[in-house]
Structure formats: C-alpha cells, structure tokens
Structure 1
Amino acid sequence: MKRFTKAALPFVVVSALALAGCSSDDADTANAEGSSDALSGTVTLYTSEPQEKIDEIIAGFTEQHPDVTVETFRAGTGELTARIATEQETGEVQADVLLAADVPTFEAYVEDDMLAPLEVDNVTELDETYVDSEGYWVGTRVIPTVLAYNTDVVDSPPESWQELTDEEYAGQISMPNPDVSGAAAFNAAVWLDDENLGEDWLDDVMDNDPTILESNGPVGQAVADGTTGVGVVVDYLARELGEQGSPIDLVYPTDGAPYVSQPAGVFSDTENPEVANAFIDYLISEEGQTTAVEQSYLPVRSDVGVPEGAPEMDDLELLDPDLDHIAEIQSESVDHFNSLLN
C-alpha cells in the first residue's frame, strides 16, 4: 500500500526566499496596491496530456495570470521525444515546459543537462515518491495501468497480471504500443524487471495473441465497444468511459499496478523561467490538483481527495521499482517487447 510522506527536498521554494528578502513594509505596500503578480509573456508547453484536459488546466492557470499565454504542442510521448531530439540537434529545444508520462524520459534529459532546477513552492505538499531528489522534475498525477474489461463480454475478469496468461483470454487482450505511449514503455521495463513477472510471463502473454493498438485511448475504446474483452490501460480512461455509460469496469491488479507520475520540468533553454516554474507550481497546487481529481486522475497531494469510485491512495497496491534502473533498461525492454510481436 502507498503511504504518504511529504517531500523535503532541494528545490528552491520561491515564497520562502521572497519572505527572507522582503520586509513587512514591502508586504504592506504590495497588499495596498492589490495583486503583486507581475507574470507576463509566453511559454510553450510540450505535453502528452489529452487536449481537453490540458485546455482546462491552462484556463485555470491563465485565470490567475491573465498576462501569460501558454502555447501547446500535444502528442504521444514517443513523438514528443523525437521532436525534442531533432530540435536539440538543430539548435535548441523550442519548449519551455515538458509535461509527459514517465520518469525515465526526464532522467535522460537531466543526464544531458537539458533541464533546469525547479523553483516551486508547492513541492513541500507532495508525497516524496513523486519528487526528484535532485530537484529537476516533479510528478503531477498518479496514473496506474490497470486491467479494464467489457462487462458484456467478460464474465470472469482477470484480477492479476499472472491471469492474463490464462487461455480463456486468448485473442481477447489489447495493449498500447510502447513505441508511442510513454506509460506503455515504462510498463514494459517494470514488468520485465519484476521477479514475479519477467520475460517468461511476457512471453506467455504474447502467446495469447494480444492486439497492440497505438496508445491507451484506442485500447480503452476497444474494450468499451467490445472489440477486445480485456485491455491493459491507464485507470482514468476506463473510469471515464464507465462514467459515460460504456459497459466497462476496471481491476487494480492484485500483484501490483505499475504507474507513471506524469512529471513536469523546465527546459534549460527557456527564456521565461519564472512563468515556466509558475505553471508547474500551479499543476501541483491545491487548485491544480483539485482539477486533476475532477479529470479522474489520482493526485500527488493528500489534501484533495480522489476521483469518485477510485480507491484511496493508501489502499492501492502499486509496483515500486528502482526508477534509476528502470531508466537504464527501458529502451532495451521496449525492444524486447517488440521482438516478441515479431
């Protein structure tokens, strides 16, 4: 089970620094003049968030900072990383902020000196599990991968990863493509590294002839319309489809759910670091996390509740691998996954 422990890490906490250098007279002056917010300018966000969800987040942020414009490029994690690599080779990264699926992607950018240390206030309110100990990225929501199933098609759904190898699910499973989905790439590494799963388990799953779809969205839809009875998919999608009336339910695997924390970081090439950091601070603020919960995500804070119908965070059985090791093996794990398809 997941236990909440607040982070106490080497981030620059903006409000504390401001207070240290600000007299009470300065504060009174700022209050007398109204809002002291002077943020302005444009930042570019690269993200794998669904467009509707990121639009809601940006609307909340710009309501607080009306002189800021957030421009967005939205794509799957694989396309984002390819775009960033091309930009890095030809000059400089055009994004200020990256909000995408998995920690290994961010660790690679830290290794290449592409991210700047964050300067955010709300990091102290987060579970330390979702915060980089060196201060370069911070998780923004908890997104476990679960077993979704069509209630009209499947009478006895699998309750664990091990059960996916049962013959009764042959030809009935759909999974996202790890070349496209950052969460799927991360999952491949976690599964192969897990002593209770590993290569033999993945071989047996592939013997059940799963359908590999482009990303989590098509997997969720395939389960919802009964094209496949069972889907390996992120939990919020299954929850949303059920709320919309589809005959779909989900199981958090009893042998543990791999999860991504949708990290956010600031590129070192940014020309507007203050606004970039403010955007990330909003993502992990109480208001930003309340929006995440309303969007059916599990939060990285303990003071905003959970989506309706979701388990409490302390009741979740989450797989907790060594993230540094997962970062090292993720690429070869995706290659191994793909080799089994061939």
Structure 2
Amino acid sequence: MFNSLKKITLGVVAAALMSGVAHADITVYTAGPQSLIDKLSAGFTAQSGIKVNVFQATTGKVMARIEAEAANPVVDVLISASWDTATDFAKRGWLVSYTSPNAAKVPDFLKTDTAVAQGISALGIAWNTKSGTPKPAEWADLAKPEYKDLVNIPDPAQSGSSFELTAALAGQDDWKLFHDLKANGAIVAGANAEALNPVLQGAKAAVFGAVDYIALAAKAKGESIDVIFPESGTVIAPRPAMILNWSKQQDEAKKFIDYMLSDEGQKLVADQMLMPARTDIPASRPLISDLKLLKYSTADVYGKRKETLKQFADIFAVGN
C-alpha cells in the first residue's frame, strides 16, 4: 500500500515538474514579418504548450534592443534578416550550438553549428503595373527619365538585405548607379515596408531593391504590383535563426527551432512567399535556382559596413 502511494506521489510530482517545464515561456526577437512570427508562435504553443513572447521590428531596431538589454538580456531566439548577424554573434561566442533533426534537408550553405535559415528572401524591383511607366528589366532602368521622381530605395542602415544589395552593386561600378538614381530623383524611404507602401498606393512607380516576399504577397492578394529580378544579378537574404547562450530556456528554444523547421513550420514560411529553408517544401514563387546571384565577398562587404553606409548617406543626403 505504501509503495503504491509512493509511486502515485512520485508520478504526480514528476508530472507537475514536466508540466512546469513544458509551459516555460521563451522570448523571440525577429526582423521577419509579423504575420509569420504570429503564426509560428501560435502553432508552436498549440503543439508544445510553450508560450512565445515576441518582439518584431526592423533589423536595426532589433539589434538596438539587444544592445540596450546587454546588462540584462532576455531574448532566447533571434531571427535576423541578415546572415551577418549569425556570423558576428558566433564570433562573439553568444550562440548555442544546435543542429535540429529537421535541418537535414536544409542545404549546407544555409546552416552552421549555431544558426539555421528560417527562410530566404531575394531582392528585386517592385513595380506598380498601373504606374504608366515601362516595365523595368534592369536596376539601371530605374535611373532613366521615365522614372524621374518615381523611385523609392529602402534605407540600408535599417534593412540588412538592402545593405547587402547596395554594397554588392556599388562595388561593381564605384557607386555610379546610385549617383544616377539620385540625379533622377530617387529617394530613401525608410525600411522595406515604408519604401513599398507608396508604390502599392500608386504615389511611386517602383522600389529599387525591394524585399521580394512583401511585394509577392501583395501581388497574390490582387495588388497591381510585379517583382522583377534583373538578369544582371541580385542578392538573396537567408534569415538565420539562432539560440542565445544566455537563454535560461535553451531546451524550449531548441523545440522552437525544431518546430520552425518542421513540415508545418516551413509551410507557414512558404505561405508568406518566402523561400523555405528546406528543399523538400514547395513554394509558389521563384527559388534560388531561378535567380542569377551577384558575386561578392560577404566578409569584405560587412568589413566595410560603416564606410558603405556613409557613402550611401552622403549621396542621398540621409540624415543631413
């Protein structure tokens, strides 16, 4: 009788402990779309019972928040819009080594010991099909007279993907393209969404270097928008997810990564018009194999980040 009661008591205690662990909260910071993290969080919580606290913002604002919280960090999982974040944080020793079993079909160039892509976006020209302007085919087309005062450019200081495209293109012609764009009345219009909204509304004709999934999602909803990937080349922006080593919920954080890379999680990524990280998940949009990618050294590009941003700001009088 005593042994039976002891077993029951131990079982109740163990269940309570397991329940407590299962319902520990995690905090996720993301530079990805709000709707995606909301759906991932809801699906993960429904599956695991673990609540997800979310902070969603631009790359710049997410990084600023992490810096501001340096003395008392709270983020467990970070999803950045720039792979350089994962490289930088790994060098600082801030990341937990973890390889999810669901990462088996993620290509090697989209994962490391400490980070794995959630999904991938690409940069293109978002063009309003009812703008009365000719359909652009190349980046340089947006510096032509037909696009005078009708082009927005996302601020590379606020958008990690915009920075990489800016640096890659500037390195090809010593900033000539950007000087031409400025002379043609192109303006810097905040981060990605702020640059795209006036194009969707018809106030502007095109975004130079639009993050593709936002425009593709708008097109799928019937907006008069198209996305063109120049044949001269573009850049992709893998969105790395990583677990911070100060996290007190590392086991729960690993479960979140597992869910993000599960069939269900990757379908949610594809539904946002992002390229899934896993090659076995279908998507109704162009994939990496459909694009020509610019060749450049990521290390060189990010090694000159301050100089690149200053040059860009000088050309467009940003902050002046």
Same fold (TM over 0.5): yes
Pair 1:56 & 2:39 matched: yes
Aligned to 1:332: 307
Pair 1:84 & 2:66 matched: yes
Displaced runs of 4+ in structure 1, greater than 6 A? none
Aligned to 1:199: 175
1:266/1:331 CA distance change after superposition, 3 Å: farther
What TM-score does the superposition give when structure 2 sets the normalisation length? 0.87
Aligned to 2:279: 302
1:320 Cα deviation (Å)? 4.7
Aligned to 1:311: 286
CA–CA distance in structure 1, aligned partners of residues 257 and 310 of structure 2:
32
Aligned to 2:52: 70
Given residue 255 of structure 1, which amino acid in structure 2 is its aligned partner?
Answer: S
In structure 1, which of residues 116, 121, 125 is the aligned counterpart of residue 101 of structure 2? 121
1:323/1:284 CA distance change after superposition, 3 Å: farther
Aligned to 1:33: none
- The question of whether the paired residues in 2 share the 8 Å contact of 1:107 and 1:327 is answered with no
Structure 1 unaligned spans of 5+: 1-35
Give secondary structure in 1 for the equivalent of 2:117.
Answer: coil
CA–CA distance in structure 2, aligned partners of residues 164 and 184 of structure 1:
16
TM-superposition CA deviations, 1:262-298 (whole Å, max 9, x none)? 1111111011111112212222222211111112111
- The question of whether the paired residues in 2 share the 8 Å contact of 1:104 and 1:326 is answered with no
1:321/1:128 CA distance change after superposition, 3 Å: farther
Give secondary structure in 2 for the equivalent of 1:113.
Answer: coil
Aligned to 1:102: 82
1:92 Cα deviation (Å)? 3.5
- The question of whether the paired residues in 2 share the 8 Å contact of 1:78 and 1:180 is answered with yes
In structure 2, which of residues 7, 15, 24 is the aligned counterpart of residue 41 of structure 1? 24
In structure 2, which of residues 255, 267, 286 is the aligned counterpart of residue 278 of structure 1? 255
In structure 2, which of residues 183, 194, 203 is the aligned counterpart of residue 227 of structure 1? 203
Give secondary structure in 1 for the equivalent of 2:25.
Answer: strand
Give secondary structure in 1 for the equivalent of 2:123.
Answer: strand
Aligned to 2:11: none
TM-superposition CA deviations, 1:25-78 (whole Å, max 9, x none)? xxxxxxxxxxx9974411111111222221111112122212x11111111111
Aligned to 1:179: 157
Structure 2 unaligned spans of 5+: 1-17
Given residue 92 of structure 2, which amino acid in structure 1 is its aligned partner?
Answer: D
- The question of whether the paired residues in 2 share the 8 Å contact of 1:120 and 1:281 is answered with yes
- The question of whether the paired residues in 2 share the 8 Å contact of 1:105 and 1:327 is answered with no
- The question of whether the paired residues in 1 share the 8 Å contact of 2:99 and 2:114 is answered with no
In structure 2, which of residues 121, 125, 146 is the aligned counterpart of residue 168 of structure 1? 146
TM-superposition CA deviations, 1:144-163 (whole Å, max 9, x none)? 01101111114412211232
Give secondary structure in 2 for the equivalent of 1:177.
Answer: coil
Give secondary structure in 2 for the equivalent of 1:264.
Answer: strand
TM-superposition CA deviations, 1:163-192 (whole Å, max 9, x none)? 233232221111112222222222222222
CA–CA distance in structure 2, aligned partners of residues 331 and 39 of structure 1:
43
Pair 1:131 & 2:111 matched: yes
Identity of aligned residues (%): 26
Aligned residues: 299
Aligned to 1:268: 245
What TM-score does the superposition give when structure 1 sets the normalisation length? 0.81
